[in-house]
């Protein structure tokens, strides 16, 4: 069985809850990813 480390990216690319949708889309396009963890005060609040 494969471990999660085979599929995760590091460092984790995140956006802040106050970042714009445009910033999030740009990050996803530049890094070829389909989703981003959203942080508020350093804590996960969405994906």
Residue 10 is predicted with a pLDDT of 85
Residue 21 is predicted with a pLDDT of 98
- Cβ atoms of 35 and 28 within 8 Å: the answer is yes
- 39 three-class SS: strand
Rounded Cα–Cα distance for residues 20 and 27 (Å): 11
The mean pLDDT values, 10 residues at a time, for the chain of 47 residues are 86 97 98 95 97
Rounded Cα–Cα distance for residues 43 and 46 (Å): 9
Q: Which domain holds residue 17?
A: 4-46
Global confidence as pTM: 0.79
The H or E element that residue 26 is part of is: helix 21-31
Domain count, the chain: 1
């Amino acid at each position: 069985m494969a471990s999660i480390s085979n599929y995760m990216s590091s460092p984790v690319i995140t956006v802040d809850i106050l970042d714009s949708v445009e910033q999030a889309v740009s990050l996803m396009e530049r890094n070829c990813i389909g989703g981003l963890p959203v942080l508020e005060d350093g804590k996960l609040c969405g994906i």
